[in-house]
Amino acid sequence: MGSYNYYKMFGCFNRKFKVSESQPPPDVREAFWRYTDGGSSMTAEQLLKFLVEYQKEESSTAEDAEAIMQHVFHHRHHTDKRHTFTLEDFFYFLFQDELNGPIDPRVHHDMTAPLQHYFIYTGHNSYLTGNQLSSDCSEIPIIRALENGVRGIELDLWPNSTKDNINVLHGRTLTTPVPLLKCLKSIKEHAFVKSPYPVIITLEDHLTPELQAKVAEMVTQVFGEMLYSPESGILEEFPSPEALKHKIILSTKPPKEYLGSNSNKEGELGSSPGGKYWSDEELEADYKENQSESEDCEDEDIDNMQQKSGPLAAPEYKRLIAIHAGNAKKRSLREVLNITVDRASRLSVSEQELERAAALYATDVVRFTQKNILRVYPKGTRVTSSNFRPIIGWMHGAQMVAFNMQGYGKSLWMMHGVFRSNGNCGYVKKPDMLMKRGPNGEVFDPKLPIPVRTTLKVIVYMGDGWRLDFSHTHFDAYSPPDFYTKLYILGAPADVAKGKTRIIEDDWAPYWDQPFTFPLRFPELALLRIEVREYDRSDKDDFGGQTCLPVRELKPGIRSIPLYDKKGNKFKSVRLLLRFHFE
């Protein structure tokens, strides 16, 4: 049997290998002809009219249009001497996300409101390189998080083996420690590389008063004038992100003035590192049982860690805690949410506690977040550093939805999406509905049904760039890929929806030109998640890129949508061309 017949029989050559160059969709051609009055070239004045009228960029200027044209001439023709666009130039411009992206790349939210008015990009166990039980602790994940715009860093503080210094590690586990000083220095060096807005360091403190004093000395020496501490020692109201630019803020549960008389036996549950080593099975079982009680120094065992009876808490340490954290362990969560205090504070709850509160007394949660900060952390059983769906936290006003930034997956894609808005500065203004009160003190109730308030219409035109970012045999050894695009609306349960394009066979530059319509009741909380897949007849469909975009930030018109890999890294060339329209 000849080789051709052999391959044909087994389906290897049953599709035609096709390579085609991207062509402008009909809507792009129509827009070009409309704004050139049917001509073959577009002037800067005509481009400006297109930007203002079609793309709804009312603030665009003649200088903006000229700058776009010069960018295209320089990169496409390697010259600055041309003065008008051809159709191909116009199409090239529309497909460049740095010129024509889906959201505003600048900081454009009001940054002068108090901190509780913002969603804050927050990490959980920010020092871990991998799983929650046995991975290394390092300053590297902290640096990476800060460089990606994260503004909330969590450090777990424990005595070192000789109890004369402080390590950062995940207690009750086999995670290897990293010195606190190394973490602090890394935070100082990288805190404001991505964003000038404040970094909040939440401390889970398992230290003696003597070591607390040492922490105070360290943070004072490392951060100096960068460290924010209120003059009165108590914040009646949180300052704004604008007022706290380039500041480091410490947040933890203030130490007790006098400590209890219980002491810990070496090697028992909750002892400092250096006790007995447990098996992996023992560690995981104990971790699952106890983790929800140990977040943010919430359990009594932490008091036992303070060693022996009677010493005063370190006053220097207490003075530096700008955001005081509380807990709901001594009373019900609902009671804590409804306590009226004369200071702004932070409360930490697990994802399960938030789910219960949202189901039983959602408006109490929303009301609490109008004055205070609510931090939500992953449940203890997420030993692989996975994450929960953050929408429930945001819907109820939780500012600090804490995520394992090394726990890649769809939930983290949602987190990336929300914080791409507002210039990726790490602070996103909460929707007004979460901060307002009615005439009788009523607040937003996520459970109340409301009518459709807007409709998002999306046209998925085409995609390109895979041939540049992937090997030609990555998807299929014998022919070009068969791409399709999936769209999801994530947000309030009433808004959840999805759509899918048809499969385009054998094409590196798939052209779909398919419309989708999404009616929305809570557009302020909605996310548009986009994922491209390559159809595989005999196996799981291959991943071809993803992105997640906040609906309230979407710019109308024809837009270039960059795609990202599973870890959230932007592909160099892969992108889609879509049109957004709101009715």
pLDDT of residue 3: 41
| CA dihedral for 147, 151, 157, 162, sign (positive or negative) | positive
pLDDT of residue 563: 98
Q: Give the DSSP letter string of 554-570.
A: PPPEEEEEEEE-TTSPE
Active site members: 124, 170
pLDDT of residue 287: 39
What whole-number percentage of the chain has pLDDT above 90?
71
Q: Give the DSSP letter string of 478-535.
A: SS---EEEEEEEESSGGG-EEEEPPPB-S-SS-EEEEEEEEEES-GGG-EEEEEEEE-
pLDDT of residue 1: 41
180-209 residues labelled b (16+ CB within 10 A) or e (exposed): bbbbbebbbebbbebbbbbbbbbbbbbbbb
| Summary mean pLDDT of the chain | 87
- Look at 176-185, 194-203, 273-282, 331-340 and tell me which has the smallest mean pLDDT: 273-282
pLDDT of residue 333: 87
SS3 state at 401 = strand
Q: Which CATH superfamily is domain 116-434 in?
A: Phosphatidylinositol (PI) phosphodiesterase (3.20.20.190)
Q: 182 to each of 154, 155, 167, 179, 185, how far by Cα in Å?
A: 14, 12, 10, 5, 5
Q: Tell me the average pLDDT across 464-476.
A: 92
pLDDT greater than 60 at residue 378: yes
pLDDT of residue 20: 65
| Fold exhibited by the domain 26-94 | Recoverin; domain 1 (1.10.238)
pLDDT of residue 19: 58
Residue among 204, 224, 188, 198 at smallest CA distance from 126 = 204
pLDDT of residue 298: 42
pLDDT of residue 311: 62
Confidence at 327, pLDDT banded by 50, 70, 90: low
pLDDT of residue 329: 65
Sequence spans of domains, the chain: 26-94, 116-434, 449-582
Pick the CATH number of 449-582 from 3.40.50.970, 2.170.150.20, 2.60.40.150, 2.40.170.20: 2.60.40.150
What whole-number percentage of the chain has pLDDT above 70?
86
Q: Find tokens 């002037």 and name the residue.
A: 43
pLDDT of residue 407: 80
**Residue 3 one-letter amino acid:** S
- Look at 94-98, 148-152, 173-177 and tell me which has the smallest mean pLDDT: 173-177
